[in-house]
Structure 1
Amino acid sequence: MSQMVLCFVTSVSSWCPTPPSRQSETKFTQQTNKFWEFEEQSNTWVEINLPFDLMSCINDSCSKVGSIENMGQKDDESPALEQQQNITDRDETKEDYGPVLPLRRRISLTRMSEASVWVTGQSGSIYERFWNGVKWVIAPHELPNPTGQAVSVLIINQTILAVSEGGLLYQVALRKFQWKDCHNPPDTKIAFIVDQEAYRKNIIFVVGQNGRLYQYNRITELWHKHYQSPHLVLSRSPGTAIRPSVLSLAGSIFMISDNGGLVEYQWDSLDGWEWVEHGTPYRDVLLVGAPGPCFDDTQLFVIGSDGQVYRRHWDRRTWKWTCHGFPHSEPSSIEEDQRLKGNKNCATDDDDNVANHKNEAHYPDGYSRNCNEKLAELRRSEGGAGWEWARIIGTPTSLCSTSYWTAVAT
C-alpha cells in the first residue's frame, strides 16, 4: 500500500538530490485485500478492484512498478468471479463490515525532506521511506535493544527524536545514524512529547506518565521538572506553542489537562512561568485530542467531546470561546442555518478568573450523530472577519462518532 501512496510523490520529487546511502531495502508481504484510491472527480475514496497495477509517471511517461494481488483468489478461479464473490459477501454482511485498518495509538509520520519520510510501524519499528535517485525504498532504523518498541518519531533541526514504549527519549545524528539514549526524567517515564523545540531552541517539553511537565536540554543533556499544582494533571497528547516572534522569549504552550480542560503555560520577563487554566467551552463539553493550530498568536482551535470545533481567542483584553460547529454536506438552506448557529460565542471569562464560565450547554441532539470522521477544511472568510467551513474530504472508512473522539482523549 505504501507504494501506491507514494507513487504520486515520485512524480513530483524526481529532481531531489540523492540522500546518503542507507541499508538495503526491506521486503514486505501483502497483509490485506482492502485498498482505496482517491477519485478527484467525485471527491471521494473508492475501493479498488484487485489485481491492481501500481504506476509511476514521470514527465507524462508512465510505467508499471508493481501490482497488488488478490490474496484470497484461488488458482482455478478467475479474477472477475472472485471480485464478484467479494462484493456479494460484503453485501450479505454489511452490518458487520468495519474498517480493515485498526485504530492504533502507535502511529507517527514526519517528513525530513522532499526525499525522506519517517514513520513508526504497527510493530513499533521505525522505518524511513526515501528516494535513492532511482526509486523509493525503505530502510529500518530500530531502537537499541532491549528498549522495546517506538511510540513516536519526529525530526527537529536535522536531529531525529524517538520515544520508546518504555518511556525513554532517543535521538540520532544524521551523519552517524546511531541512536543516543537521552534517558528520562528521574521520577517518571515519558508519556508524550508536548513541544518539538518550537517554543525554545534546544529545549524539548514532554509530559511524564505521572501527568507532570518536564523539559530536556539538548545542550546540557539535563532534565528539569517544572512546578505544577497537585490537582493539575496533563493528558498524554502534544501541545501548541505560541511566540510573538522567533527572537522573543515570551510565549505560551497550550495543552489539554487530564479532565478535558485547556491549560496554558506562559512565560514573560516580569512574572516568569505561570499556569493559566482556560477550562472548557461548556460545563458538559470536554476537549479531546490535542490543541489545534494557532493563528496570529491570539486564536487557538480545539475539538469538543460533542464533535464540534471551538476557537479560543483573545478579544478586547479577555479570552473568549466561539463555537464553529462542524461541516455539513446538507442542502444550502441547512448549511446556512448551521453557519448562523456555528459562529456563536459560547462563554466569556471575567477578568478575575479566566476559567469562569457563565453559560450552560444547549445543543441539538443531532450534533453528535452527524460526526463521520471525514477531513474538513475551516478557513478564514474574505476580509478575515470570521471563519467558515470550506469543503469536506472523504476517507476510506468513515465510522466516527462522539465515542470515538472520547476514546482519543483516554
Structure 2
Amino acid sequence: MSMFHLIFSLWVLLSASCWCMCLCSTSWLPHNFLRQTNKQFVQKTDHFWEFQEETNSWVQVQLPYDLFSCVNNNCTKVGLIDRKTITGERKYDSHKSLKKKDGDGGGPEENSDIVLSQRKRISLTKMSETSIWVTGESGSIYERFWNGVQWVIAPHDLPISAGRAISIFIVNQTILALSEVGSLYQMQLSESSQPVWVDFTPILSQSMHQEADQSPAIQIKSGVVSHDGVRVYFCTKNGLLLELNEVEPQRWVNHGQPPGAYVAGITDAASIKTEVVYIISSTGDLYEYERSSKPPWRKHIWKDETAQDNSLMPLLGYGSRGLNGDHSISLFLLTKGGNLVERQLNKRKWKWITHGRPKDHHLTSITRVVQDELIENFFSLFFTTSTGSVFEYRIPKHSGTVQENHLERWLNHMHPPHAKVARGLAGQQFQVSRILFPLDDGRVAELHTSGLGGENSGPIHPVNHRRKASIKYVWSILDAPETEGWNAEYCTEERGPTNCIIGSKDEPNGQSNRRSVTRRRRGNPAQEDYLSPGAPGIRMKESLEEYSFPDNWINKHYRLRVMHRGKSFFLIADGGLTFEYLYTESVWLWLRHDYSTAIKGIRNYSETI
C-alpha cells in the first residue's frame, strides 16, 4: 500500500470517529449547546467552594481567589475569581471571615444580612407534651411522638388528590388539615381502626351563601385555634373571617369583614378576652372584632398617622393580660419594617408602644410561649429574624426598679450550627424552656436549657425553684423525614425503642437498656455540611415581601438526590431525563434511566426511588 493510500485511510477513519463522537454527544446534550460554545463565562455569584481532600469536606473560599494549574508540582496562575459588583456599585461580600473549627479545615461564618427565602408550607402544632405535628416544605404531614422510650416519627400524609398540606389544627380532640389549595380535611378512624383523611368542606348557612355568591367554594387561607381550644377562626382567600365552633355536627359562623377592608391574617383569637378576635387587614391595619358589640368591628388607629413604620404584618401576635397592672391588656405585633410594637390598654386608655428591634436585624415572626412564673424579674418573648436567628426580648415585671435598668433587653440565641431558623415561621413551645423552631433546610431544632432537652430527652417534669435571669439556652437538631431534604427514616415495624407505638425495651442477654436512638442507616454519619440556597445580593434593607420561593422552586432546584452516599447520585435534566452517576468496581459511570414521560422530581425512601 502506497504512503498516499495509508494517509488517506487514516484521515477517513479519524473523520468517521470524530463524526460519531459528535453525534453521540449531541444526542443527549441540550439542542443548542454546540451553538453556544463562543459564549464567555459570566459570574453571577460570590459563593465558591473548594474541596479539601485532607478533611473530605467543602470549604468556602474568600474572594478574590487565584486559580492555579498544577502539572508535576509545577503550578502556574491561570485566572482570578473576584468579587461580583452588585447593582448600584455595591460589592457583595457574602462571608467576611473564616472561622476555624476543631477537627476540620474551617467553615464559613455567614454574614448576618443574608436574607432567607420565605417557606410556604412548614408549620408546627402541639397536640400534647408527647405529640408534635409538623407539615414540611414538601407538603407532607408527620408526627413526632414520644413512645415512652424515645421520639419516633409517624407519617400522616394527605391523599394525593388533596395536594400538599400547609398547616394542622387540633380543636376539641379533632385533627384538621389545611391543604395548599384552601381545602380542609378531618382525620377519622376507618372501619379497620386506621386513621384516614376525609373531606371537611364547610357547611354554609344561607347568609354565608349570600356572601359567597361570587365565589362558588370557600377557600381557606389560614387559621388560628382559640385560646380555650374549642373554636377555630379562619381567614379566607377572599378576605372573610369564619368561625368553626362545633365539629360534630359542623357549625360555621361567617363574621364577614371590616367595613372597606379585607381580612389578611388573624393575630389573636380570644386569648385576651373571650370571643374577641384581632385581625390584620390587607392594608396593614389592626381591627378588633367582638360579636356582641355594636358595631362589631373597631379599628385601632395610630395617633401619629405620619409614623414611618405603622403598617402591620398579617402574622400571629402575642396577647397577654396583667403585664402593666392587674387590668392591663397587651397585644404584641410586628410591623412590615421588622419592628416590635405593642397595643396596650391601661387605665381604660389605648396607646401604641414601639419596642423596636435588635440592631441590624429584621423581626419576622413571634413565638407564643407560656411564661415561666418561676422567673421573678421579667417576661420573655421569642422572635425569628430574616437572616435565620432567634432573639429573646425581655420585659421587666416591675417597672421603675434598679433591675430594669440593668436588664439586657435583646438576647441573641443565634441559630444551630450548620443550619438557619426558617424566616417568618413561628416556633412551638411544648414545655417551659423548651421551644421547637422549623429550620430553613426542612428539619426541626429545639432551643432548651442546658441539660434539659434534645433528641434523647422526653417530656420533663419541671422543678419548682426560682430561676435566675442568666439562663443558658442551647440548640439541639431533631430528626426529620427524608422528604424534607435530610436522610432520616420513619418508624419501623420491629419491636424495640424505634417502634412507633409500643416503644418496648427489648434488650438481648440482659444488656443495658441504654441504647442509641438514632434511626439512620448504619454507615451514614450525620450530615453537617449544609448549603443554604440564599440569593446573592438580597439585603435586609431591600424588600422582603417579593423575596419568596415560587411554586415551582422545588422542581427546579431539588433535581439532584443521593441514593447511596459516595456510590450513587441521581440527576434530572431540564428535559425530564433521569441520569445516575454510579460508582462500581473503582470506576464512576453514567447511566440513563428512560421513562415514557418526563420526570419532574425524585425522592428516595427506604432505598427505593
Q: TM-score, with normalisation over the residues of structure 2?
A: 0.41
Partner of 2:183: 125
Contact persistence 2:317–2:334 (CA under 8 A): yes
Tell me whether 1:322 sits opposite 2:396 in the alignment: no
TM-fit CA distance, 1:163: 1.2
Q: 2:485 aligns with which of 366, 375, 397?
A: 397
Contact persistence 1:239–1:255 (CA under 8 A): yes
1:10-409 correspondence runs (5 A): 107-114=166-173, 116-131=174-189, 134-143=193-202, 144=204, 145=212, 146=215, 148-156=218-226, 157=228, 158-174=230-246, 176-220=249-293, 222-228=296-302, 229-230=304-305, 231=307, 232-244=310-322, 248-269=326-347, 272-282=349-359, 284-293=360-369, 295-296=371-372, 298-315=379-396, 316-317=403-404, 320-328=409-417, 372-381=441-450, 383-384=467-468, 385-395=470-480, 396-397=484-485
Deviations 1:26-54 (A, max 9, x none): xxxxxx999999899xx9999xxxxxxx9
Q: Distance in 1 between matches of 2:479 and 2:387?
A: 20
Partner of 1:5: none
Q: Distance in 2 between matches of 1:276 and 1:184?
A: 26
The one-letter code of the counterpart of 1:279 is G
Q: Distance in 2 between matches of 1:400 and 1:254?
A: 31
Deviations 1:73-131 (A, max 9, x none): xxxxxxxxxxxxxxxxxxxxxxxxxxxx98xxx833110144x2112112211121134
Contact persistence 1:118–1:126 (CA under 8 A): yes
Q: Distance in 2 between matches of 1:227 and 1:298?
A: 27
Summarize the Cα distance change of 1:218–1:128 in structure 2 as closer, same or farther, 3 Å threshold.
farther
Contact persistence 1:36–1:45 (CA under 8 A): no
| Greater Rg by CA | 2
TM-fit CA distance, 1:323: 0.9
Deviations 1:150-200 (A, max 9, x none): 112333342332211001011234165142221000020000000011112
Report the RMSD for the aligned CA atoms in angstroms: 4.3
Contact persistence 1:44–1:394 (CA under 8 A): no
Contact persistence 1:288–1:409 (CA under 8 A): no
TM-fit CA distance, 1:208: 0.5
Contact persistence 2:338–2:364 (CA under 8 A): yes
Contact persistence 1:255–1:291 (CA under 8 A): no
Summarize the Cα distance change of 1:223–1:208 in structure 2 as closer, same or farther, 3 Å threshold.
same
TM-fit CA distance, 1:381: 4.5
Contact persistence 2:441–2:532 (CA under 8 A): yes
Higher relative contact order (CA closer than 8 Å, sequence separation 6+): 2
Deviations 1:322-345 (A, max 9, x none): 111112269xxxxxxxxxxxxxxx
Q: TM-score, with normalisation over the residues of structure 1?
A: 0.58
Contact persistence 1:253–1:264 (CA under 8 A): yes
SS in structure 2 of the partner of residue 179 of structure 1: strand
SS in structure 1 of the partner of residue 264 of structure 2: strand
Summarize the Cα distance change of 1:121–1:285 in structure 2 as closer, same or farther, 3 Å threshold.
same
Q: Distance in 1 between matches of 2:172 and 2:547?
A: 31
Contact persistence 1:292–1:300 (CA under 8 A): yes
TM-fit CA distance, 1:212: 0.5
The one-letter code of the counterpart of 1:393 is L
SS in structure 2 of the partner of residue 182 of structure 1: strand
Summarize the Cα distance change of 1:291–1:278 in structure 2 as closer, same or farther, 3 Å threshold.
farther
Q: Distance in 1 between matches of 2:245 and 2:346?
A: 33
Contact persistence 1:294–1:301 (CA under 8 A): no
SS in structure 1 of the partner of residue 338 of structure 2: coil
Deviates more, 1:191-200 or 1:164-173: 164-173
Summarize the Cα distance change of 1:138–1:34 in structure 2 as closer, same or farther, 3 Å threshold.
closer
SS in structure 2 of the partner of residue 211 of structure 1: coil
SS in structure 2 of the partner of residue 194 of structure 1: strand
Q: Distance in 2 between matches of 1:294 and 1:196?
A: 16
Deviations 1:365-409 (A, max 9, x none): xxxxx9645321112347553131141114322675566995699
Aligned-pair identity in percent equals: 21
Summarize the Cα distance change of 1:243–1:381 in structure 2 as closer, same or farther, 3 Å threshold.
farther
Deviates more, 1:196-205 or 1:372-381: 372-381
TM-fit CA distance, 1:202: 1.3
The one-letter code of the counterpart of 2:485 is T
Contact persistence 1:306–1:402 (CA under 8 A): no
Summarize the Cα distance change of 1:249–1:127 in structure 2 as closer, same or farther, 3 Å threshold.
farther
Q: Distance in 2 between matches of 1:294 and 1:33?
A: 29
Summarize the Cα distance change of 1:393–1:402 in structure 2 as closer, same or farther, 3 Å threshold.
farther
Contact persistence 2:367–2:381 (CA under 8 A): yes
The one-letter code of the counterpart of 1:257 is T
Summarize the Cα distance change of 1:33–1:326 in structure 2 as closer, same or farther, 3 Å threshold.
closer
SS in structure 1 of the partner of residue 410 of structure 2: strand
Q: Distance in 2 between matches of 1:314 and 1:38?
A: 32
Contact persistence 2:233–2:269 (CA under 8 A): no
Q: Distance in 2 between matches of 1:132 and 1:248?
A: 49
Q: Distance in 1 between matches of 2:346 and 2:353?
A: 13
Deviations 1:43-75 (A, max 9, x none): 9999xxxxxxx999xxxxxxxxx9x99xxxxxx
TM-fit CA distance, 1:132: 6.8
